[in-house]
Amino acid sequence: MRTVVSRLIHSRSSLPRLLNGRYLSTDSSKVDEPFKVEEAETVNIPPPPTEKLLVLGGNGFVGSHVCREALDRGLSVASLSRSGRSSLHDPWASNVTWHKGNLLSPESLKDALDGVTSVISCVGGFGSNSYMYKINGTANINAIRAASEQGVKRFVYVSAADFGVVNYLLRGYYEGKRAAETELLTKFPYGGVILRPGFIYGTRSVGSVKLPLGVIGSPLEMLFQHTRPLNQLPLVGPLFTPPVNVTAVANVAVRAATDPVFPPGIVDVYGIQRYNQKSK
Ligand SMILES: NC(=O)c1ccc[n+]([C@@H]2O[C@H](COP(=O)([O-])OP(=O)(O)OC[C@H]3O[C@@H](n4cnc5c(N)ncnc54)[C@H](OP(=O)(O)O)[C@@H]3O)[C@@H](O)[C@H]2O)c1
């Protein structure tokens, strides 16, 4: 082994070499000049682009927790919703860039998507079946298409778990959710993540009032951990889906939006709990 290395060292001068991108002649008639290390030139390279996150519906219940979590991780955060910042009075809200726009008019998304590397959509809602389809489906499909055209790398959609019989009563809601999910998996096969929580609990701001929904949600989450087998029952099983804390959803959403190795696809409520535990 030593002989081979020694031969290589001694034959070094006869090897073609590239210095500063130029080919140096190895013609034996030319005197081989001593190897000279040139000082690297300093060039003005801009710093690597920082992650810029756009939260759709960042002034809502889940969206505001997502914005907070992302700011805590040092990301640059913007939000888009119809009312902009609206009634959020918390100090962290001043660190978010608030855009007003309606996802049902996708051209209002163009400016907000400028320089954005990842998107988390927390846009959804209830109403008549046709309204629910529009807000959970069409609005999000518009956002997914616009983000894909703009070259966004990762897109996380806060969808919802199936609720068995309830799915039929809220047809527009679930059909909209599933249509948006299909679009996401098509447009973002490597960077699309769908979170499917059941009931989400935590502190919800309604104007200046804070509603502590955790008072009901937290004990229910503990209780439902022991009823997991019931979740497999046909029709009524999904009603036993455990509620999940809004901070867990926000934590996993931000991680899924920024971690390039976070696997694409659907994450159910148990997956949200697992990823949340792992990142503690
Ligand atoms: N809360 C739960 O227990 C729960 C459970 C499972 C799944 N989810 C899902 O999680 C997501 C967030 O729920 P949430 O409870 O946080 O709802 P939320 O508080 O009602 O927030 C919805 C957000 O969407 C924005 N929005 C609605 N229509 C829009 C449009 N056309 N264009 C732009 N923005 C629009 C709203 O802001 P503006 O009104 O200012 O536009 C608001 O910021 C939803 O997709 C929901 O289906 C929630």
Mean pLDDT, the chain, rounded, equals: 81
Is residue 67 lining ligand 1, measured as CB closer than 6 Å?
no
pLDDT band for 188, please (50, 70, 90 cuts). very high
Residue spans of the domains in the chain: they are 52-198+245-278
pLDDT given for residue 39 in this prediction: 47
CB distance 195 to ligand 1 below 6 Å: no
Percentage, residues of the chain above pLDDT 70: 71
Per-residue pLDDT tens over the stretch 198-245: 999 988 777 667 766 656 666 666 666 666 776 766 666 666 788 999
* Mean pLDDT on 4-29: 37
- The crossing angle, in degrees rounded to 10, of helices 269-278 and 246-258 is 80
Question: 82 CB under 6 A from ligand 1?
Answer: yes
- Ligand 1 closest atom vs CA 63: 16
Q: How confident is the model at residue 150 (pLDDT cuts 50, 70, 90)?
A: very high
Which of the two residues, 65 and 37, has the higher pLDDT score?
Answer: 65
Distance 173 CA to ligand 1 centre (A): 12
Best CA proximity match to 77, nearest among 90, 60, 87, 92: 92
Domain at 52-198+245-278: CATH architecture: 3-Layer(aba) Sandwich (3.40)
Atom 12 of ligand 1, residue of closest alpha carbon? 122
Ligand 1 centroid from CA 226, angstroms: 30
Q: What is the pLDDT of residues 242-254, one digit of tens each?
A: 899 999 999 999 9
Rounded Cα distance, 75 and 143, in Å: 21
Quick one: pLDDT at residue 219?
Answer: 65
